Structure 1
């Protein structure tokens, strides 16, 4: 699948992978903070943004899409930065193109299967609007507010609503949502030995302490850093703190590795 992407800057490549319901623009602030020193590649994952739609969504498929793009662009020594679903794609890529990856940053997601997710409420609200042909932006926002979805998340979602049309493939996301929550544990005999940084929002449930042993089993060289006062979208809520952390960690891991 040919993915839509935005390529800027020059130097070592940094590939940015967004979360569910998002697009390549979601990580603009992080890419903008690194573009003076790196070649930044922002990607619309399948069924999102301007990339093609498919009935199938899974981490092997999404990772293969990105791997094909990286090979097409002849990238090497890649730094992967993925948020939420994009973080799982980044972790999957460690098994697909390990020879092309230098290090990985995962933002507020764990390499585990989630049996429940706050996104389920969002998905139900969006499907209600779709099935009931609610197309007015104010009415969509009212439905989401009634479900208890914050205005910040409502506004984030509506960035992908253009001309009464969702830029993400809502039906496919709904049908394949179990795959988005899923994760195939990396076998103990094939752990990823790349440097990997997990950035956790202190108020988020996605990267809870109970997952630490599972993280280290699959990624023995993992570092986990918590940004206090932030939720799941820690990169948007605490952009400067996350950028400083990224720059410090990348420089440190570069000099030490």
Structure 2
């Protein structure tokens, strides 16, 4: 299987110069997404698995604090089982993609509207979890011509503030202190201990700690905590939309999750009139991690 990767590299290495604060970040230029009609797209980091060019590609979009590696095993399975091209992408301010003060859904949608045609992957199947699901929904509503079908994983086009602990996670991550020149294993253990009082779920801590990186002996978060914290209220809501997306859509929900409520269904139906709802039993918000086989079965069925 042919695998193509592109990782954004700043002028001074993969994460920019070592930052003075723990949550320091590489920054790419941005219009801010406010003064201009459209935000300026950023060159996202991605991995593309080769497949049959006549079939719509499958594009995986991760959630807040995630990265393209969240879907690595699923992406390989989809490529092998369906013969399709499969793209995993780091959103701006996440993974190996550049950082920007603009963390809006309009900006994240614009990044994809720029990238997918460049790669010859339109129209494509968008599979987005949480924040990535909202990015996928907005892109489908803005540019339905670029989206063959849409799968939103445990998220809806409605505000989800009441059920998230993301603000507390960010505060805990920003407060971490790690001495320089520690071995990575010790640094990770120390960070885990400092997160534990706030992030009691070990699986969630392990997920957050995938963002801990070391550059020249200095440990920092590769997610842009400052921009994400500033935009968190925006990330938890959804930009108001009028036009519906006419294509097929699947809303895959975690049976143990409270992110999508019955009260959200009317807005889902209004914006996505072809939407199907499917619940995965015994899955929380991270459906693909909790029930990977059920997640794969849902994707295969939706593609068929």
Same fold (TM over 0.5): yes
> How far 1:139 moved relative to its partner?
2.8
Structure 2 spans left out of the alignment, 5+ residues: 1-41, 180-186
SS of 1:105 mapped into structure 2: strand
Q: Write the mapping of 1:114-125 to structure 2, written as runs, cut at 5 A.
A: 114-116=160-162, 117-125=164-172
| CA offset digits 1:5-28 (Å, max 9, x no partner) | 101121231111001111101111
> How far 1:231 moved relative to its partner?
0.3
Q: Which one of the candidate residues 2, 11, 20 is aligned to 2:64?
A: 20
- Superposed structure 1 runs of 4+ greater than 4 Å apart: none
> How far 1:152 moved relative to its partner?
0.5
Asked if residue 50 in structure 1 is aligned to residue 91 in structure 2, the reply is no
8 Å CA contact retained: 1:67, 1:96: no
Q: Write the mapping of 1:168-187 to structure 2, written as runs, cut at 5 A.
A: 168-187=223-242
2 CA distance for matches of 1:144 and 1:210?
Answer: 33
Structure 1 spans left out of the alignment, 5+ residues: 252-257
1 CA distance for matches of 2:135 and 2:94?
Answer: 14
TM-score calculated relative to the size of structure 1: 0.91
Q: Larger Cα Rg: Structure 1 or Structure 2?
A: 2
1 CA distance for matches of 2:97 and 2:172?
Answer: 24
- RMSD, aligned α-carbons: 1.3
1:5 equivalent in structure 2: 46
| CA offset digits 1:125-173 (Å, max 9, x no partner) | 11222xxx34632232123221143110111111121111211111111
| CA offset digits 1:99-148 (Å, max 9, x no partner) | 1211001111111123332222212211222xxx3463223212322114
Asked if residue 77 in structure 1 is aligned to residue 77 in structure 2, the reply is no
2 CA distance for matches of 1:39 and 1:181?
Answer: 31
Q: Which one of the candidate residues 261, 269, 272 is aligned to 1:216?
A: 269
8 Å CA contact retained: 2:144, 2:246: no
| CA offset digits 1:17-61 (Å, max 9, x no partner) | 001111101111221221122100110000011100001100010
2 CA distance for matches of 1:148 and 1:95?
Answer: 35
1:160 equivalent in structure 2: 211
* Number of aligned residue pairs: 246
2 CA distance for matches of 1:234 and 1:29?
Answer: 14
> How far 1:230 moved relative to its partner?
0.8
TM-score calculated relative to the size of structure 2: 0.78
